[in-house]
Amino acid sequence: MEWSACLDEYEKLVIRMTTPRVVIDNAVSSKATVVKVDSARKHRILLEAVQVLTDLNLSIKKAYISSDGRWFMDVFHVTDLNGNKLTDESVINYIEQSLGTIHPGKTTGSNGLTALELTGTDRIGLLSEVFAVLADLQCSVVDAKVWTHNGRIASLMYVKDCNSGSPIEDTQHIDRIEARLRNVLKGDNDIRSAKTMVSMAITHTERRLHQVMFADRDYERKPILQPGGDSPVVTVQNWVERGYSVVNVQCKDRTKLLFDVVCTLTDMEYIVFHATINTAGDRAYLVYIYLSLFVSLHR
Which tens digits make up the pLDDT trace of 79-127? 999 999 999 999 999 999 999 887 665 666 567 899 999 999 899 999 9
258 domain-assigned: yes
pTM: 0.81
Query: What is the domain-level CATH number for residue 138?
Result: 3.30.70.260
Total domains in the fold of the chain? 2
pLDDT at 7: 47
150 domain-assigned: yes
Q: Give me the mean pLDDT over the 234-238 stretch.
A: 91
Task: Count the Cβ atoms, other than its own, within 10 Å of residue 288.
Answer: 22
133 domain-assigned: yes
Residues 178 and 149 in one domain: yes
Q: Which domain range does residue 146 map to?
A: 114-202
66 domain-assigned: yes
**Least reliable range by pLDDT among 6-15, 238-247, 251-260, 282-291:** 6-15
Residues 177 and 131 in one domain: yes
Kindly report the backbone phi and psi dihedral angles of residue 231, in degrees, each rounded to the nearest multiple of 5, phi listed first: -75, 135
pLDDT at 184: 92
In this structure, are strands 21-25 and 33-40 parallel, antiparallel, or unpaired? antiparallel
Residues 45 and 118 in one domain: no
User: Of 184, 202, 220, which closes a domain?
Assistant: 202
User: Of 147, 182, 202, which closes a domain?
Assistant: 202
Cα within 13 Å of Cα(299), Cβ side: 14
Residues 166 and 195 in one domain: yes
Residues 118 and 198 in one domain: yes
Q: Give me the mean pLDDT over the 291-297 stretch.
A: 45
> Percent of the chain at pLDDT above 70?
83
Per-residue pLDDT tens for 177-229?
999 999 999 866 665 578 899 887 777 899 999 999 998 887 776 665 555 56
**Total length of the chain:** 299
Residues 83 and 121 in one domain: no
Phi-psi region of 150 (alpha: psi -120 to 50; beta: other; left: phi over 0): left
Residues 78 and 131 in one domain: no
> 297 pLDDT band (50/70/90 cuts)?
very low
Q: Give me the mean pLDDT over the 230-239 stretch.
A: 87
Higher pLDDT: 242 or 90? It is 90
Residues 40 and 96 in one domain: yes
72 domain-assigned: yes
Higher pLDDT: 151 or 6? It is 151
Residues 236 and 275 in one domain: yes
Residues 132 and 198 in one domain: yes
Residues 96 and 45 in one domain: yes
51 domain-assigned: yes
11 domain-assigned: no
Residues 125 and 80 in one domain: no
61 domain-assigned: yes
pLDDT at 296: 40
HEC-encoded secondary structure of the chain: CCHHHHHHHHHHHHHHHHCCEEEEECCCCCCCEEEEEEEECCCCHHHHHHHHHHHCCCEEEEEEEEEECCEEEEEEEEECCCCCCCCCHHHHHHHHHHHHCCCCCCCECCCCCEEEEEEEECCCCHHHHHHHHHHHCCEEEEEEEEEEECCEEEEEEEEEECCCCCCCCCHHHHHHHHHHHHHHHHCCCCCCCCEEEEECCECCHHHHHHHHHHHHCHHHCCCCCCCCCCCCEEEEEEECCCCEEEEEEEEECCCCHHHHHHHHHHHCCEEEEEEEEEEECCEEEEEEEEEEHHHHCCC
**Least reliable range by pLDDT among 146-150, 157-161, 222-226, 284-288:** 222-226
Per-residue pLDDT tens for 18-38?
578 899 999 999 999 999 999
Amino acid symbol at 9: E
Report the C-alpha dihedral over residues 263, 292, 276, 233, rounded to 10 degrees: -70
